[in-house]
Amino acid sequence: MDKKKSAIFIVNPISGTQSKKGVEQKIRQYVDAEKYDFRIVPTRYAGHATEIAAEAAASGVGLVVAVGGDGTINETARSLVHTDTALGIIPCGSGNGLARHLHIPMDVKRAIDILNRGVTECIDYGKINGIPYFCTCGVGFDAYISMKFAQAGKRGLATYIENTVQAGLSYEPDTYEIENEDGTMCYKAFLITCANASQYGNNVYIAPKASLCDGLMDITIMEPFSVLEAPAISFQLFNGTIDQNSKIKTLRSKKVIIHRAKPGVIHYDGDPVMAEATLTVEIIPRGLQVVIGELEERGVLNVGNAIMQNIVDTFNDLKPIGDAIVGDIAARNRRLLVLNRDLLRKLKK
């Protein structure tokens, strides 16, 4: 009989929008007790997950599971890089970008089934000015929105969309210089994202072709766009074709240096932080062992596409009403023209 593997489940009680009491109950109910000797440890403050994971790795724990969102995963994973301890994920956050890229189900029981299966892969991770990131990091509008989202006090996709729409109306793009092995380029950009994984979360694909295992980051530069161009960009972010948009420039590199006019906010895995004017971003190949989902998870309903399709369907449903209103206005205008002609004839008499 194989020896049991030790495991620690780090639970962030305030991540996402769902209660963690039910999640802990499912962990106790569904984790394979013949495979894992496990315990559950809740976090009590920011950075606590990093401390717990570091102690676990130093003690030779085989698996540390982050139960939360991308922020909890970041705190946990940064202590596991270049160790023999694997990262597991039960996604309970607002975006869950890394989990979705790894094909880990959003359903808790099915995510636990993935842990019980226990297939691992060694993936890349990145650093921005020395801060580790595992999914995406960036500067510009996405960093600004991360800051607004962190200040909102409420989590969830609705809050994120509300902040995005409100801020997008007034945000002013900056000019950046980007240095890599091919030289120096200058862009006026709405945002610059350095992606290890393909999406921000919520199936918003900022770098559809990004790979966690190629030793490169996919850099997406979104140039300024008009209000009329925004709906197409939104749709392409959700359906994974944003790299085909004319406002998007893409690079692939091991390391880039981004220069901007002054210090400001950046984000790493959705968490905002103030940083210097010059940003150094690099990929560290094959630095983290992580439990991965099954490829069949690609067939799970794409929530983003469903949302966008609902929007399209709603507009289609409203179109007959709009046509009727337009037709009514046109009819009234025709009647007014007739009345005006009649009035002019009478005045000429």
CATH number reported for the structural domain that contains residue 108 in this entry: 3.40.50.10330
What confidence tens digit (pLDDT) does each residue in 122-141 have? 999 999 999 999 999 999 99
- Averaged pLDDT, 36-57: 97
pLDDT at 80 over 60: yes
Residues 158 and 279 both lie in one domain = yes
Is the pLDDT assigned to residue 60 strictly greater than 90?
A: yes
Count of domains in the chain? 2
Please indicate, yes or no, whether residues 16 and 109 belong to a single structural domain of this protein. yes
Q: List the single range of 21-25, 26-30, 74-78, 249-253 with lowest mean pLDDT.
A: 21-25
Contact by Cβ (8 Å): 119, 291: yes
Under the banding of pLDDT at 50, 70 and 90, the label for residue 3 is: confident
The phi-psi region of residue 81 (left if phi > 0; otherwise alpha if psi is between -120 and 50; otherwise beta) is beta
If asked whether residues 136 and 281 sit together in one domain, one would say yes
DSSP 238-256: HHT-GGGSTTEEEEEESEE
- pLDDT 10s digits, 149-204: 676 655 555 555 555 655 666 789 999 999 999 999 999 999 999 999 999 998 99
Beta strands 217-222; 248-253: pairing state:
antiparallel
Q: Are residues 274 and 159 in the same domain?
A: yes
290 - beta bridge partners? 87, 121
Query: Rounded to whole angstroms, how far apart are CA atoms 215 and 299?
Result: 27
> Measured between alpha carbons, how far is 172 from 189 in angstroms, rounded to an integer?
9
Give ∠ CA 150-143-156 in degrees, rounded to 5. 40
Q: Are residues 94 and 182 in the same domain?
A: no
Instruction: Specify the pTM.
Output: 0.80
pLDDT for position 16 = 60
CB atoms inside a 10 Å sphere around CB 255: 16
**pLDDT at residue number 233:** 92
DSSP state of 295: G
Mean pLDDT in residue range 21-29: 92
Q: Is the pLDDT of residue 93 over 60?
A: yes
311 pLDDT more than 80 = no
Query: 17 lies in which domain range?
Result: 5-118
User: Are 283 and 212 contacting, i.e. CB atoms less than 8 angstroms apart?
Assistant: no
- pLDDT tens column, 280-301: 999 999 999 999 998 644 433 3
pLDDT at 266 over 80: yes
The residue length of the chain stands at 349
Specify the range with the lowest mean pLDDT, choosing from 260-264, 278-282, 307-311: 307-311
Of 118, 142, 176, which marks where a domain is finished?
118
H-type helices in 92-183, by residue range? 97-101, 108-117, 141-152, 157-168
Q: What CA–CA distance (Å, rounded) separates 193 from 268? A: 10
Distance between CA atoms of residues 202 and 184, nearest Å: 33
